[in-house]
Chain A
Amino acid sequence: MKVLSKLFACLVVVLATTWTSAVFAQSVNDLIASGKIRIGVNSAAPPFSFIGTSGKVDGYDVEVGRKIAEFLGVEAEFVAYPTAGRIPALESDKIDIAIATLTPTPARAKVVMFTIPYVTFGSSIISAKDSAINSLEDLAGKKVGVARGTPQEVKLTDEGPKGMDIARFDDDAITMQALVAGQVDAIAVPDTIFIEFAKSRPGHSFDFKFSLQNFFMSVAVRKDAFELQQWLNTVISFMKVTGDLTQLYEKWVGKPLPAIMPEF
């Protein structure tokens, strides 16, 4: 039964790709005419996009996608891809746009086109609410916990002030625990780790001190879809002004979206 259904699924995918590849929905009008927009999201990047317990995709990216479909006046259809499958899916016309935690990089921009960033993903310095740590310099003479092999470890190692003591742990969870136990004065973890921690331990006495690193993420469209890209830029900019984006960010990430984000 399982094998049969798998075979059937394969057949459907094969047929779907052969049929749809003939029609490249490249412009805003194409999308409106088709009555739907196929949006690729990341299958495992909570809280941005992930497959929830109900088996449906959910997260910040998904809600942004729904808003975009709303502005377009069409139905949103979400397809979840693993990290490595996002750009190929866009290139092979399995999706119309990708809202999938994609950081616009020069290498990627050779293959697809990016809109202005719609979200940021960051790591922060977390410490006691009442501690006077507000910049990297304030970490001098402090013991700072970080997980080995993470971007924040590299950043602290390269740019940390003199006299800062780095304590390296195996992962973010133990790093967080070291802060709770008072073994370190501050820690550098992805924002989402601290938000998850805060959910499971209400009444804790820690807070975001300052942002350590930020990676901005953009919506990707196929190459040469200039008109669609420009329309999406307008929508993203509009949603920033109306506060829709920051409201969603508050909901999923737990803090306001940075006021200044790169535009290009």
Chain B
Amino acid sequence: MIIFGLNFGPVVAAAPALIDGLWLTITISFAAIVFGGSVGLAAAVGRSLAPRRLKWPVDVYVEVMRNTPLLIQLYIIFLGLPALGIRFSPIEASIIGLTINTGAYCTEIFRAGIESIHRSQIEAGLSLGLSRLQVVRYVVVVPAIIGVWPALVSQFILLTLASSVCSFISLEEISGAAYTIQSATFLNFEVYIVIGAMYLLLAAGLKSLLRLVGLYSFPGPSRRSLKKAMPSATAVRAQL
């Protein structure tokens, strides 16, 4: 039996590398949330508006991305595409990989939201004299987003945690920095405890932030339905 104490000294000394890593994780996650969310929304809306025969490109995209590991997608973008003369830096490749991956999941989430809008509501919108575009925007898309917002928040947190895979293509984000530190100090346990705490704080912060975004982006009655969907949002608001 080997008994050993925890030694956080060298890990604390390596804090600058971990802080840099934290910023990189935040950067690529934020970019992938914005771009991936947009891709997902565009693909889902496009698919729902497209005639039946033209829905397949989105389906193929979603199935290919959801049924292959993120690691392999990153490998192909970073080490495969250069064979075709397309070269991305580690950070570009990471953002692109996370975007197309999370975009596929977001497509499915938005599709569920869009499909939950009853046909009668669309007909009601049209009969009130709204244009087709207005119906898509006010009757379909916005209520759909409100409906699936909690699922989206969960997907974005998963994305942030999954971004640790990007260390594979030499990006020194939190996990990459941690691997480098632990291979030099052999303080594996200490390093993982520290980055575990960092991911926890990051995910918790992101969740609160996205809750507030949801709360203040959707006006009037939708905000009420959002509050109903996420009761603790009320508590957040009460504090403000």
Q: Confirm or deny: A149 has a beta carbon within 8 angstroms of a beta carbon on chain B.
A: yes
Residues of A within 8 A of B82 (CB): 181-183
Chain A residue with minimal CB distance to B177? A168
Q: Confirm or deny: B239 has a beta carbon within 8 angstroms of a beta carbon on chain A.
A: no
**Which size class do B's interface residues fall under?**
10 to 19
- A189–chain B nearest beta-carbon distance, Å: 14
Contact of B183 (CB < 8 Å), options: A149, A178, A182:
A149
Q: Confirm or deny: A177 has a beta carbon within 8 angstroms of a beta carbon on chain B.
A: yes
Q: A177-B79, A178-B79, A181-B79 are in contact. Are A148 and B90 (CB under 8 A)?
A: no
Interface residues of A in 103-150 (CB under 8 A from B): 145, 148-149
Contact of A153 (CB < 8 Å), options: B83, B169, B172, B183:
B183
Give the dominant DSSP class at B's interface: helix
Is the Cβ of A169 less than 8 Å from the Cβ of B87?
Answer: no
Contact of B79 (CB < 8 Å), options: A149, A154, A168, A183:
A183
Task: Bits for A158-199, please: 1 = Cβ < 8 Å to B, else 0.
Answer: 000000000111100010011011110000000000000000
Is the Cβ of A154 less than 8 Å from the Cβ of B184?
Answer: yes
Interface residues of B in 168-193 (CB under 8 A from A): 168-170, 172, 176, 179-180, 183-184
Q: Confirm or deny: B110 has a beta carbon within 8 angstroms of a beta carbon on chain A.
A: no
Cα of A168 to Cα of B21 in the assembled complex, Å:
13
Is the Cβ of B172 less than 8 Å from the Cβ of A168?
Answer: yes
Cα of A183 to Cα of B93 in the assembled complex, Å:
11
Cα of A137 to Cα of B100 in the assembled complex, Å:
40
Is the Cβ of A169 less than 8 Å from the Cβ of B170?
Answer: yes
Cα of A177 to Cα of B78 in the assembled complex, Å:
10
Is the Cβ of B83 less than 8 Å from the Cβ of A181?
Answer: yes
- B85–chain A nearest beta-carbon distance, Å: 9
Q: A154-B184, A181-B78 are in contact. Are A145 and B170 (CB under 8 A)?
A: yes
Chain A residue with minimal CB distance to B90? A167
Is the Cβ of B79 less than 8 Å from the Cβ of A148?
Answer: no
- B112–chain A nearest beta-carbon distance, Å: 36
Chain A residue with minimal CB distance to B93? A183
Is the Cβ of B170 less than 8 Å from the Cβ of A178?
Answer: yes
Residues of B within 8 A of A182 (CB): 82, 87
Residues of A within 8 A of B172 (CB): 168
Chain A residue with minimal CB distance to B183? A149
Is the Cβ of B87 less than 8 Å from the Cβ of A148?
Answer: no
Chain B residue with minimal CB distance to A177? B79
Residues of B within 8 A of A180 (CB): 79
Cα of A118 to Cα of B184 in the assembled complex, Å:
30
- A149–chain B nearest beta-carbon distance, Å: 3
Is the Cβ of B180 less than 8 Å from the Cβ of A183?
Answer: no
Cα of A148 to Cα of B182 in the assembled complex, Å:
9
Contact of B180 (CB < 8 Å), options: A145, A168, A174, A177:
A168
Residues of B within 8 A of A148 (CB): 179-180, 183
Residues of B within 8 A of A149 (CB): 179, 183-184
Chain A residue with minimal CB distance to B79? A181
Cα of A182 to Cα of B81 in the assembled complex, Å:
10
Cα of A61 to Cα of B93 in the assembled complex, Å:
44
Residues of A within 8 A of B78 (CB): 178, 181, 183
Cα of A153 to Cα of B179 in the assembled complex, Å:
13
Cα of A153 to Cα of B185 in the assembled complex, Å:
13
Interface residues of B in 120-175 (CB under 8 A from A): 167-170, 172
Could you jot down 9 A-B contacts, CB within 8 Å?
A148-B183, A149-B183, A149-B184, A168-B176, A168-B180, A170-B167, A181-B82, A182-B87, A183-B78
What residues make up the interface of A, taking CB atoms closer than 8 Å to B? Answer: 145, 148-149, 153-154, 157, 167-170, 174, 177-178, 180-183
What residues make up the interface of B, taking CB atoms closer than 8 Å to A? Answer: 78-80, 82-83, 87, 90, 167-170, 172, 176, 179-180, 183-184
Known contacts A168-B170, A168-B180, A178-B78; 9 additional CB pairs below 8 A are A148-B179, A153-B183, A168-B176, A177-B79, A180-B79, A181-B79, A182-B82, A183-B87, A183-B170
Please provide the 8 A-B residue pairs with the shortest distance between their CB atoms, ordered closest to farther. Answer: A149-B183, A167-B170, A181-B82, A181-B79, A148-B183, A182-B82, A177-B79, A169-B170
